[in-house]
Structure 1
Amino acid sequence: MRGIALERRKVIGIGLGAGLAVLPAWWALREVAQEAGGDWHTDTAPLEQAFPLLGPLTDAKWVSSRDNDRGLPSPELVISGFARLAAGKLAELTAAHAFVAEGPADDFSSWFEKALRGEGPQDPDWVRSHELDRVGSGHSTHLWFDRRSDTVRFRALNPYG
């Protein structure tokens, strides 16, 4: 009986050791995949719901603070990313609202935004309307528009109210 218990411990120890050896490789592959930029959403419907004034969107790359596994989930939802406006929409918005030349202060500094670093329009010409930031459904909404590509960069805290 004592020999069986010793064998069982040995088998469990070998299995545990093999599992721990695979874990770093799995973690490294996961990190490489995330750095490659495939860890974002491309659906536009949630963004159109969060930002109804932007009208139908044609393309999107965005992330959420609830996307990745973390030890303590955040009670607050933050969405951040880029979306392409329909042709003529930015001209319509700039005709109806006051805009100033102003770009984002950072390049996606939050932990969940890593996949977006280096994405977005090349050499953007950002403008911002503080008025549009206030009418967003989120508690804290920031929208920057690139005049060259009809792209909006956004960051919104609790965008659905």
Structure 2
Amino acid sequence: MDRRKLIGIGAGLAVLPAWWALRQVENGAEEDWHTDIAPLEQAFPLLGPLTDAKWVSSRDNDRSGVPSPELVISGFARLAPGKLAELTAAHAFVSDESADDYFSSWFEKPLKGEGPKNPQWIRSQELDRDGDGDGDGHHTSLWFDRRSETVRFRALNPYG
């Protein structure tokens, strides 16, 4: 390969990160999280319809360079009015403040401080999924805040 081509390729690679950052700002990607609710309603049909969401994925800006078959989604979503009352009437719930300490992965860092203020988390083991012992690698944890009708979720391979 001649020297001019190598210089051209090198210059192109040097400009690529700046171009990508400008495109993100231009496309309104100022936040480090997703706000679309359709994927969450697909992953958690029992919770729908949802009215608002902030969530991240383990495949967002993956820095590891190693492809992983596992997908983790984590975040907050607002339930429709009355949905939490419907769920608490049908399932057993207990207090569980562990949701506040559950942002342990690198990709969850943008969510710190984004949840409801002074939440009182409750949880139902009936609504959590542990893969049913069939080795399919699914796991879902859900926490609910009664005050804000917000659900805090973390799910491994939520789409099957």
Same fold (TM over 0.5): yes
Cα displacement string for residues 116-148 of structure 1 (whole angstroms, at most 9, x for unaligned residues): 111110110100001100389981100000111
Amino acid at match of 1:112: F
Matched, 1:147 2:146: yes
Q: Distance in 2 between matches of 1:114 and 1:56?
A: 26
Amino acid at match of 1:42: T
Matched, 1:108 2:103: yes
Amino acid at match of 1:43: D
Partner of 2:74: 80
Give runs of aligned pairs for residues 39-58 of structure 1, distance below 5 A: 39-58=32-51
| TM-score normalised by length of structure 2 | 0.76
Highest CA radius of gyration, 1 or 2?
1
Contact 1:107 1:117 in 2 (8 A): no
Matched, 1:60 2:59: no
Contact 1:40 1:63 in 2 (8 A): yes
Partner of 2:158: 159
Contact 1:136 1:159 in 2 (8 A): no
| TM-score normalised by length of structure 1 | 0.76
Cα displacement string for residues 2-53 of structure 1 (whole angstroms, at most 9, x for unaligned residues): xxxxxx86x8898899889879989xx89xx9xxx70111111111111111
Q: Distance in 1 between matches of 2:112 and 2:15?
A: 29
Q: Distance in 1 between matches of 2:142 and 2:40?
A: 12
Which one has the bigger helix percentage? 1
Q: CA RMSD in A?
A: 3.0
Contact 2:130 2:138 in 1 (8 A): no
Query: Unaligned regions of 5+ residues in structure 1, if any?
Result: 1-7
Query: Would you identify which runs of 4 or more consecutive aligned residues in structure 1 move more than 6 Å?
Result: 11-26, 135-138
Shift of 1:97: 0.4
Give runs of aligned pairs for residues 19-34 of structure 1, distance below 5 A: none
Shift of 1:107: 4.4
Partner of 2:91: 97
Other structure's SS at 1:114 match: helix
Q: How many residues align?
A: 149
